[in-house]
Structure 1
């Protein structure tokens, strides 16, 4: 990949949403948001990191504004949803991979400072010239798949407005997975090694509990997640909730390795991949009604030490450092497994374990004035 145009390092650092800091507390306790089995994996992984800040550090960065008018012609041409963050996240994942892992400026396998990683990673993601064609290609691919499905299942789309609604629906996890899998296949055909391609991951929320309400292709694809379990339940207040029972194998979080077409539980990731897949790791993340991308790397710390680090890229001005899915991604992907995990059922932990998150100062800086941020 040729050197990407982008903002200077000084401009880059003025566009931070949050400087690197220890993971702040989530909006609700993680225990209320993620199943216990996944949290136990996170605790084991963080416990295996010997550094001054065992939980590492997260930095968050604002790149392109997905609501900027520059994207409107694409949305109209490809009947794309107004919330097309999934396409932006996958495009960002591809560019991060080519910049940091497979390209001439690659930093694979070597610890780098957060400033160097921020400069390398943010430049292509802030470039409309680089992002726009990637985003359009992804829109075109998903549009082609959706129109093909409508053609093959025409009886499902007889009602007025159904076709438009289907084409304009938010991009689903399985659709983004298909794009990432195809991308990995294309890169492999160009000679990129499987070892590098395995560094692309996708953190997904388990959608199986929504199967009963699913229609069209989603209803055909959701059984891929059936083994992760979960079901809808009525809460005490009468609203609808989702229940996961880890003892039955249920998991609220799914880890995908697109290059291998693998959907994994956290313990399967921990046992088979967390110690062997190299750094930096590049992820597309479902952070909850929004998709983003991130790079996970090891920064130098002390004498021959490393600090697990996450650099998160967002296409809205919202701050996601307190979202549980970003923090789970940090605990799973920024950590290198250093101890042999136990996959057997664990007894209740007593005394109560240290919380995975803690209070931290987050510094908000003035955003750079840019035509893509107005």
Structure 2
């Protein structure tokens, strides 16, 4: 235990455990306290809430190692754009009001997925013929997700819902939380996969038509059951059938034959938790019942320590005669690149398989 503590340092902004050799947090880019970068950061503290970073790679340049990777993935583009800085001081009062974790990506990713659904569904209905976007149109969508008032409104709903659910759990299981500090620690814990799932189940209730529905691409967390506590421990039983008998980090543990690294969770017309091949079978059955498939899909991505939003679409370069190319557009609320973290490729591959 002592050796593990010496090998990492905890970020004062988001509490992420970073490798000892780094001076900037891998999660939120906050410089390590006492470093030269920290002094530089202090002088730029008042900078804006809107992020400008972009990262882009071809699908063929990214190595996906899990067993569900297609033998020959369809090539295209994974493009990450950042919107609002989830660690900006503008959101601190909201985080404190709902006793939310400082790393609020769980709320931002869900809020952005809902806003994206509304934006893209409206664009699809307004388009005549094939639904194809240009890079300029995608940047316009990103600008709408940089509207701090609109995003804050949606983030507030997510935070309030998770806070109320957590507070109810502490009251219903009062013996497990004997002191106010125990309650506060539970309230401030990072958002769990099941909490994102629960919120989207409520959000999608009553929706029957999957036009660009939201899907949750999440790691199979069954290998981490030994370290889970409280409600999360009980909820992980649902993932037993997907394998992962060995204990370890969900992104790196060696999986037995037949186990799934990633799970896909759709919510419309009904909620399911599926292996990638089960999701594909389910989508094929749905498509046979309808005259056409949705021209885009929206994803919340579990990035193993972070969450972000993404959507699949075809993008055509304006003024060229070239065919539109497959894109997975990631919407992130930090500057770090998560393109090669696993889940983006899993989402890309099911969207364009």
Same fold? TM cut 0.5: yes
Question: Is 2:295 the partner of 1:279?
Answer: yes
Distance 2:108 2:60 in 1: 26
CA displacement 1:13-43 (0-9 Å, x = unmatched): x935125x413644xx532xx2x1x12xx33
CA displacement 1:38-62 (0-9 Å, x = unmatched): 12xx336x3xxxxxxx311121101
Asked if 2 retains the 8 angstrom alpha-carbon contact of 1:184 and 1:258, the reply is yes
Distance 1:206 1:294 in 2: 19
Distance 2:218 2:188 in 1: 21
RMSD: 2.7
Q: 1:256 to 1:102 in 2, by over 3 A?
A: farther
SS at match of 1:282: strand
Question: Is 2:309 the partner of 1:309?
Answer: no
Alignment of 1:332-351 (within 5 A): 332-333=350-351, 335=352, 337=353
Unaligned runs of 5+ in 1: 1-13, 47-53, 338-374
Unaligned runs of 5+ in 2: 1-50, 288-292
Distance 1:109 1:86 in 2: 35
Distance 1:283 1:89 in 2: 9
Asked if 1 retains the 8 angstrom alpha-carbon contact of 2:224 and 2:248, the reply is no
Distance 2:163 2:104 in 1: 12
SS at match of 1:142: helix
Alignment of 1:1-374 (within 5 A): 15-19=52-56, 21-23=57-59, 25-26=61-62, 29-31=63-65, 34=66, 36=67, 38-39=68-69, 42-43=70-71, 46=73, 54-102=74-122, 110-159=130-179, 161-185=181-205, 188=207, 193-196=208-211, 199-233=213-247, 242-247=253-258, 250-259=259-268, 260-273=270-283, 276=287, 277-300=293-316, 305-333=323-351, 335=352, 337=353
SS at match of 1:246: coil
Distance 2:152 2:248 in 1: 43
CA displacement 1:133-185 (0-9 Å, x = unmatched): 11111000001101111111111111562211110000101100111111111
Q: 1:110 to 1:104 in 2, by over 3 A?
A: closer
Asked if 2 retains the 8 angstrom alpha-carbon contact of 1:142 and 1:175, the reply is yes
Deviation at 1:251, TM superposition (A): 0.7
Deviation at 1:105, TM superposition (A): 6.8
Distance 1:23 1:225 in 2: 28
Question: Normalising to structure 2: TM-score of the pair?
Answer: 0.75
Q: 1:210 to 1:128 in 2, by over 3 A?
A: same
Distance 2:148 2:128 in 1: 25
Deviation at 1:232, TM superposition (A): 3.0
Greater relative contact order (Cα < 8 A, sep 6+): 1
Name the count of aligned residue pairs.
Answer: 293
Q: 1:254 to 1:75 in 2, by over 3 A?
A: same
CA displacement 1:172-200 (0-9 Å, x = unmatched): 011001111111116x3xxxx52326x21
4+ residue segments displaced more than 6 Å = 301-304
Distance 1:209 1:233 in 2: 5
CA displacement 1:250-284 (0-9 Å, x = unmatched): 11101000222111101112222168351211111
Asked if 1 retains the 8 angstrom alpha-carbon contact of 2:223 and 2:247, the reply is no
Asked if 1 retains the 8 angstrom alpha-carbon contact of 2:82 and 2:331, the reply is yes
